[in-house]
C-alpha cells in the first residue's frame, strides 16, 4: 500500500494543527460562523440535520487493517459506535462534536488519514475500481496513476479554485467498475496498437440535477503524458467554465455548451501548446508503483478441492461464494465483496465491531488491505480460495455474510432526510422496505443482477440516475414522494435512466418495483438480465406496469 | 393557512455539539416545549435577530412553523426526533430519538 512520504505527513499535521486553532478561535468568538464554515468544510466537517458530520477521505477506496481499526476506535470514542460508507468510497461519522474534531483529525493523521479536500471547488478524492490490482480482467493496477493524480492535484495552485468541484474516476480494466462515465473525467486503461498501456479519456460525465454521460475526447493518452493532458483539460475548464451560476458550473455543462468537438479542439490545442508539460519525476513514479506492487502470493491452483467440498456440503456458503466472489489475477486467490447490505439494514452502515471484524479478516485471510466500493460495500482483495470457508464463518459471526453482491437487495442509498440537511425525502427506509420485500435468497438469485439506487434529493449521491431502477426522493406540500427512473447503467454502455411517470408514495415503491421485477421475469429470454430485457422491450412496457396494480 | 401565518420558533444547531436547539427568549433549550412561541412577524424578526447575535452558542438560526401538533415541516420533526431508522448507534432503544417519528414502513 502507498505510505505517506514526509511531505504528506507534515502537511496533514500542519492542517490538523491549523484546524485546532481555528476551532479554538471559533469557540472563543474570534471567528464568525461565516468565516469558520469554509474552514470546517475544507476539513470535511459538515453540519447535518441533527449534528455535525465528518467525512473522512479514503483515497481510491483503499485502506489498511490498521486504518480500519482506527476508524472503529473513532466511532467508539467520539461517535456512536458506527460509521457510514458512501458512494464516494469515503466514510462518514454522523455524530462528532465540534470540540472533538481536532482530536479525531489527530487520530486519523497517526494512521495517515485525513478529511481534507473532501469538499470545496477542488479536485476531489480520486475514485477507482475496488478490485484494482487484483481483477483478472485488468491491464494494470490504476492506483499508481490515481496516487500520482492525488499528489499532482493536492493543493495545486491553479486548481484549488475551480468553477466547481471536480471528480475523477479511474479504472485499469476494460470492464468499468468505477462508474467512470459519470465523473467529470473518467479514465479507462486501454492498450494502443503497439500493446502499450495508456488511458482513454472521457470528460463531462456527472449526476446531480443534470445527469450526463462523459464523452470520450481521446482514445489513447500514453501514461507518460497523462498529467499534461489532464492539465490541458483543467486549464480549458478554468478558462471557460461558468462561474456565474452554480448549476451551470460543472465541466459537463461546458462540454455540452461548447460541443464535444470544440471542447476537444481546445484541449488538444492547450495540450500541444504546453511549453514545459508537467511530467512526473520517474523516481517518484517508480516509488509509487513499488508501493502498489502485489504481495508475494503463494503458488496455488484455482478451484482447490477443499473449496468444492465445502460448497457441496454447505448451500449457504456456496451461495455466498457464487454471489460475492470476484475472479482474481492470481490463481488460487479470490476477491471478496463483503456486503454491508444485510436484509432490512441501512446500506453502507458498519458498526465498530464490524469494522474490527473486517480488519481482522484482512489480516487473517489477506495481506492487511481492504477496499471501500462505490456500491457501499467492502472488498477483501486477496483471499486464498482454500480459506474462503473459514473467512465466511468469521464474517457470519458479525452479520457480514450476506450473499447479495450485485443482486436486488444490494441497494445503494444515500443518507437522505434521516441525516442530510439537503435532503427532500428519506432514502434509507425505502431501501429497507425494498430489501425486506426481496429478502428471499432463491428469488434474489432467480432475478439476477439488478442495481437499485436511491437518492434523497436531486444531488444524486445515491447514484439513482445510473440505477437499473433509480429512485429519487422529492417533496411536495410537505409529503415525501418518489420518482422512479429506469434503464440507467453506471458501467459498460453507461446510460442515464429515463423517468417513469409521476411520483409514488413511499409505501407504493416496493410494490412498483416488484411489478417491474415480475414483468422482467415473465418476459425475459434465456439468460437476459433485467437491464437487457428492459433494453429489448423498451421503456414504455416497463413504465406501464408501475402504474398497473394487479396486472 | 400557509406555514408563514403559523406561530414560529427559532431553531438552530448548538455550536459545540451540533444538537438541535430552540430559542427560549433567554437562551437555548433542546426541548421544543421550552421554545418561545412567536406569533407575529415583528416579534419573529426580533427574536431571530437576537438569536443570530448569539453566534458564540449556535449555528444557523432560522424560523420554523409550529401548530398544535408541534413542528409543521416533516424535516423539522426529523431534526428533533433524530433519524427515523433504527441505526446501530441509537442511544436509547425505548422511546429514544426517532421513536416518535417512527419508521414510515415504506
Ligand atoms: S442525494 Fe441529497 S439527500 Fe442524499 S446525501 Fe446527497 S445531498 Fe443528501
C-alpha to C-alpha distances, A463 to A88, A299, A454, A470, nearest whole angstrom: 10, 40, 7, 8
Do A141 and A284 reside in the same domain of the chain? yes
CB atoms near residue A191 (< 10 Å): 13
Ligand 1 pocket: which of A87, A453, A462 to mutate (most atoms <8 Å of CB)? A462
Do A15 and A100 reside in the same domain of the chain? yes
CB A482 within 8 A of CB A504: yes
Helix axes A388-396, A352-365, angle to 10 degrees: 170
pLDDT digits (tens, 9 = 90+) for A164-173: 989 999 999 9
Task: Supply the CATH number for residue A368's domain.
Answer: 3.90.480.20
pLDDT tops 90 at residue A113: yes
pLDDT at residue B92, as a whole number: 57
If one compares A59 and B1, the residue with the highest pLDDT of the two is: A59
Do A285 and A380 reside in the same domain of the chain? no
pLDDT at residue A522, as a whole number: 97
- Which three three-digit cell numbers place residue A477? 406540500
pLDDT digits (tens, 9 = 90+) for A351-405: 999 999 999 999 999 999 999 999 999 999 999 999 999 999 999 999 999 999 9
pLDDT digits (tens, 9 = 90+) for A226-278: 999 999 999 999 999 888 888 899 999 999 999 999 999 999 999 999 988 88
pLDDT tops 80 at residue A551: no
Do A256 and A315 reside in the same domain of the chain? no
Size of interface A-B (CB pairs under 8 A): 105
- State the average pLDDT over residues A17-34: 94
Task: Specify if A407 maps to a domain.
Answer: no
Task: Specify if A100 maps to a domain.
Answer: yes
Do A18 and A100 reside in the same domain of the chain? yes
Task: Specify if A375 maps to a domain.
Answer: yes
pLDDT at residue A60, as a whole number: 84
Taking the C-alpha atoms of residue A325 and residue A338, their distance in angstroms, rounded to an integer, is: 9
Nearest-atom number in ligand 1 for the CA of A462 is 1
- State the average pLDDT over residues A30-41: 92
Nearest-by-CA chain B residue for A509:
B106
Asked if A346 lies within 8 A of B85 by C-beta distance, the reply is yes
Instruction: Name the interface residues of B facing A (CB cutoff 8 Å).
Output: 13, 15-20, 55-56, 59-60, 72-75, 78-79, 82-85, 87-91, 97, 103-106
Q: Three-class SS of residue A110?
A: helix
Question: How far B7 CA sits from the closest chain A CA (Å)?
Answer: 17
ipTM reported for the complex, 2 dp: 0.86
Task: Specify if A125 maps to a domain.
Answer: no
Task: Specify if A402 maps to a domain.
Answer: no
Asked if B15 lies within 8 A of A27 by C-beta distance, the reply is yes
**Along the 106 residues of chain B, how does pLDDT read in single tens digits?**
677 789 999 999 999 999 999 999 999 999 999 999 999 999 999 999 999 988 889 999 999 999 988 888 999 999 999 999 988 877 654 333 333 333 333 3
- Which three three-digit cell numbers place residue A235? 486549464
Q: Shortest CB distance from B78 goes to which of A94, A418, A510? A: A418
pLDDT at residue A221, as a whole number: 97
Do A258 and A324 reside in the same domain of the chain? no
Task: Specify if A492 maps to a domain.
Answer: yes
CB A134 within 8 A of CB A330: yes
- HEC profile of chain B: CCHHHCCEEEEEEECCCCCEEEECCCCEECCHHHCCCECCHHHHHHHHHHHHCCCCCEEEEEEEEEECCEECCHHHHHHHHCCCCCCCCCCCCCCCCCCCCCCCCC
For all residues of chain A together, what is the average pLDDT? 94
- State the average pLDDT over residues A515-533: 97
Do A329 and A361 reside in the same domain of the chain? yes
Task: Specify if A426 maps to a domain.
Answer: yes
- Residue B64 bridge partners (DSSP): B9
Cα A337 to ligand 1 centre (Å): 25
DSSP state of A294: P
Taking the C-alpha atoms of residue A188 and residue A171, their distance in angstroms, rounded to an integer, is: 5
pLDDT digits (tens, 9 = 90+) for A297-345: 999 999 999 999 999 999 999 999 999 999 999 999 999 999 999 999 9
If one compares A409 and A10, the residue with the highest pLDDT of the two is: A409
Q: What is the per-residue burial (b if ≥16 Cβ within 10 Å, else e) of A231-258?
A: bbbbbbbeeebeeeeeebbbbbbbbbeb
CB A183 within 8 A of CB A215: no
Do A377 and A427 reside in the same domain of the chain? no
State the sign of the Cα–Cα–Cα–Cα dihedral A60, A62, A66, A70.
positive
* Band of residue A280 on the pLDDT scale cut at 50, 70, 90: confident
Do A176 and A218 reside in the same domain of the chain? yes
- Which three three-digit cell numbers place residue A83? 460509521
pLDDT tops 90 at residue A154: no
Task: Supply the CATH number for residue A144's domain.
Answer: 3.30.413.10
Asked if B88 lies within 8 A of A81 by C-beta distance, the reply is yes
Q: 490463481: which residue's cell? A: A331
Ligand 1 pocket: which of A416, A417, A470, A471 to mutate (most atoms <8 Å of CB)? A416
How many CA within 13 A on the CB side of residue A274?
A: 21
How far separated are the first and last CA of chain B, in Å rounded? Answer: 29
CB A127 within 8 A of CB A183: yes
How far separated are the first and last CA of chain A, in Å rounded? Answer: 54
Taking the C-alpha atoms of residue A180 and residue A199, their distance in angstroms, rounded to an integer, is: 12
Do A224 and A321 reside in the same domain of the chain? no
Taking the C-alpha atoms of residue A377 and residue A335, their distance in angstroms, rounded to an integer, is: 13
pLDDT at residue A117, as a whole number: 59
Q: Three-class SS of residue A439?
A: coil
Give residues 459 to 488 of A whose Cβ lies within 8 Å of B: 475, 478-480
Neighboring chain A residues of B72 at a CB cutoff of 8 Å: 478
pTM value?
A: 0.93
Question: How far A80 CA sits from the closest chain B CA (Å)?
Answer: 5
DSSP state of A183: S
Q: 433542546: which residue's cell? A: B30
Asked if A97 lies within 8 A of B17 by C-beta distance, the reply is yes
Q: Which of A290, A325, A355 is the last residue of a domain?
A: A290
pLDDT digits (tens, 9 = 90+) for A452-485: 999 999 999 999 999 999 999 999 988 999 999 9
Q: Shortest CB distance from A478 goes to which of B73, B78, B105? A: B73
- State the average pLDDT over residues A411-415: 98
Question: Domain range holding A241?
Answer: 135-290
Task: Specify if A362 maps to a domain.
Answer: yes
CB A245 within 8 A of CB A231: no
Question: By alpha-carbon position, which residue is closest to atom 6 of ligand 1?
Answer: A461
Ligand 1 pocket: which of A347, A422, A480 to mutate (most atoms <8 Å of CB)? A422
Question: How far B40 CA sits from the closest chain A CA (Å)?
Answer: 23
Taking the C-alpha atoms of residue A347 and residue A405, their distance in angstroms, rounded to an integer, is: 12
Do A334 and A389 reside in the same domain of the chain? yes
State the sign of the Cα–Cα–Cα–Cα dihedral A501, A503, A505, A510.
positive
pLDDT at residue A156, as a whole number: 78
pLDDT at residue B100, as a whole number: 34
pLDDT digits (tens, 9 = 90+) for A184-208: 999 999 999 999 999 999 999 999 8
CB A500 within 8 A of CB A216: no
Cα A420 to ligand 1 centre (Å): 6
pLDDT at residue A220, as a whole number: 97
Taking the C-alpha atoms of residue A372 and residue A338, their distance in angstroms, rounded to an integer, is: 10
DSSP character string of A496-548: PPEE-SS-B-GGGHHHHHHHHHHHHHHH--TT--HHHHHHHH-HHHHHHHHT-
Nearest-atom number in ligand 1 for the CA of A460 is 1
Do A364 and A261 reside in the same domain of the chain? no
Q: What is the percent of chain A with per-residue pLDDT over 70, rounded to a whole number?
A: 99
Taking the C-alpha atoms of residue A107 and residue A263, their distance in angstroms, rounded to an integer, is: 44
Question: How far A409 CA sits from the closest chain B CA (Å)?
Answer: 15
Cα A37 to ligand 1 centre (Å): 19
Cα A321 to ligand 1 centre (Å): 33
- Residue B101 bridge partners (DSSP): none
Report how many domains make up chain A.
4
Neighboring chain A residues of B15 at a CB cutoff of 8 Å: 26-27, 98
Amino acid at each position: 500500500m502507498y505510505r505517506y512520504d514526509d511531505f504528506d505527513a507534515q502537511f496533514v499535521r500542519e492542517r490538523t494543527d491549523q484546524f485546532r486553532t481555528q476551532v479554538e478561535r471559533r469557540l472563543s468568538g474570534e471567528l464568525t460562523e461565516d468565516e469558520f464554515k469554509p474552514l470546517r468544510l475544507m476539513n470535511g466537517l459538515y453540519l447535518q440535520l441533527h449534528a455535525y458530520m465528518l467525512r473522512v477521505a479514503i483515497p481510491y477506496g483503499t485502506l489498511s487493517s490498521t486504518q480500519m481499526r482506527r476508524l472503529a476506535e473513532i466511532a467508539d470514542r467520539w461517535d456512536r459506535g458506527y460509521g457510514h460508507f458512501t458512494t464516494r468510497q469515503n466514510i462518514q461519522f454522523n455524530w462528532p462534536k465540534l470540540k472533538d474534531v481536532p482530536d479525531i483529525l489527530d487520530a486519523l493523521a497517526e494512521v495517515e488519514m485525513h478529511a481534507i479536500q473532501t469538499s470545496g471547488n477542488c479536485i476531489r478524492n480520486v475514485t477507482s475500481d475496488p478490485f484494482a490490482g487484483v481483477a483478472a480482467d485488468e491491464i494494470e493496477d490504476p492506483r499508481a496513476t490515481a496516487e500520482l493524480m492525488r499528489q499532482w492535484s493536492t493543493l495545486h495552485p491553479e486548481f484549488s479554485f475551480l468553477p466547481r468541484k471536480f471528480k475523477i474516476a479511474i479504472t485499469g480494466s476494460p470492464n468499468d467498475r468505477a462508474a467512470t462515465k459519470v465523473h467529470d473525467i473518467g479514465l479507462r486503461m486501454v492498450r494502443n496498437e503497439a500493446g502499450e498501456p495508456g488511458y482513454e479519456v472521457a470528460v463531462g460525465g456527472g449526476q446531480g440535477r443534470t445527469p450526463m454521460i462523459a464523452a470520450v475526447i481521446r482514445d489513447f493518452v500514453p501514461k507518460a503524458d497523462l498529467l499534461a493532458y489532464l492539465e490541458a483539460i483543467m486549464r480549458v475548464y478554468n478558462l471557460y467554465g461558468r462561474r456565474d451560476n452554480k448549476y451551470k458550473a460543472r465541466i459537463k455543462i461546458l462540454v455540452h455548451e461548447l460541443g464535444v468537438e470544440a471542447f476537444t479542439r481546445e484541449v488538444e490545442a492547450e495540450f500541444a501548446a504546453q511549453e514545459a508539460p508537467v511530467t512526473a519525476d520517474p523516481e517518484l513514479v517508480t516509488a509509487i508503483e513499488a508501493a502498489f506492487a502485489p504481495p508475494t502470493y503463494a503458488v496455488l491452483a484455482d478451484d482447490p478441492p477443499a473449496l468444492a467440498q465445502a460448497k457441496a456440503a454447505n448451500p449457504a456458503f456456496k451461495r455466498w461464494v457464487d454471489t460475492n466472489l470476484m475472479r482474481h489475477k492470481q490463481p488460487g486467490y479470490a476477491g471478496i465483496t463483503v456486503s454491508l447490505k444485510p436484509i432490512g439494514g441501512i446500506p453502507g452502515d458498519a458498526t465498530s465491531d464490524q469494522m474490527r471484524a473486517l480488519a481482522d479478516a484482512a489480516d487473517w485471510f489477506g495481506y492487511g488491505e481492504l477496499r471501500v466500493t462505490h456500491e457501499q460495500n467492502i472488498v477483501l482483495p486477496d483471499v486464498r480460495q482454500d480459506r474462503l470457508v473459514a473467512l465466511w464463518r468469521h464474517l457470519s459471526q458479525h452479520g457480514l455474510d450476506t450473499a447479495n453482491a450485485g443482486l436486488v437487495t444490494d441497494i445503494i442509498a444515500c443518507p437522505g432526510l434521516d441525516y442530510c440537511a439537503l435532503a427532500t425525502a428519506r432514502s434509507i427506509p425505502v431501501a429497507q422496505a425494498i430489501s425486506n420485500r426481496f429478502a428471499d435468497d432463491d428469488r434474489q438469485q432467480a432475478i439476477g443482477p439488478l442495481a437499485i439506487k436511491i437518492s434523497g434529493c436531486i444531488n444524486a449521491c445515491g447514484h439513482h440516475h445510473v440505477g437499473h431502477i433509480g429512485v429519487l426522493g422529492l417533496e411536495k406540500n410537505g409529503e415525501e414522494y418518489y420518482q422512479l427512473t429506469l434503464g440507467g447503467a453506471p458501467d459498460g454502455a453507461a446510460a442515464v435512466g429515463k423517468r417513469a411517470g409521476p411520483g409514488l408514495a413511499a409505501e407504493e415503491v416496493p410494490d412498483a418495483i416488484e411489478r417491474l421485477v415480475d414483468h422482467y421475469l415473465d418476459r425475459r429470454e434465456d439468460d437476459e438480465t433485467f437491464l437487457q430485457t428492459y433494453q429489448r422491450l423498451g421503456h414504455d412496457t416497463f413504465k406501464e406496469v408501475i402504474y398497473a396494480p394487479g396486472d | 393557512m400557509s406555514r408563514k401565518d403559523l406561530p414560529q420558533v427559532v431553531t438552530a444547531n448548538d455550536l459545540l455539539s451540533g444538537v438541535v436547539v430552540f430559542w427560549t427568549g433567554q437562551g437555548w433549550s433542546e426541548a421544543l416545549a421550552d421554545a418561545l412561541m412567536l406569533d407575529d412577524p415583528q416579534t419573529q424578526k426580533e427574536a431571530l435577530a437576537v438569536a443570530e447575535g448569539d453566534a458564540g452558542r449556535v449555528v444557523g438560526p432560522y424560523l420554523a412553523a409550529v401548530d398544535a401538533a408541534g413542528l409543521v415541516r416533516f424535516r423539522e420533526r426529523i431534526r428533533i426526533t433524530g433519524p427515523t431508522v433504527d441505526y446501530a448507534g441509537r442511544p436509547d432503544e425505548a422511546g429514544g430519538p426517532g421513536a416518535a417519528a417512527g419508521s414510515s414502513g415504506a
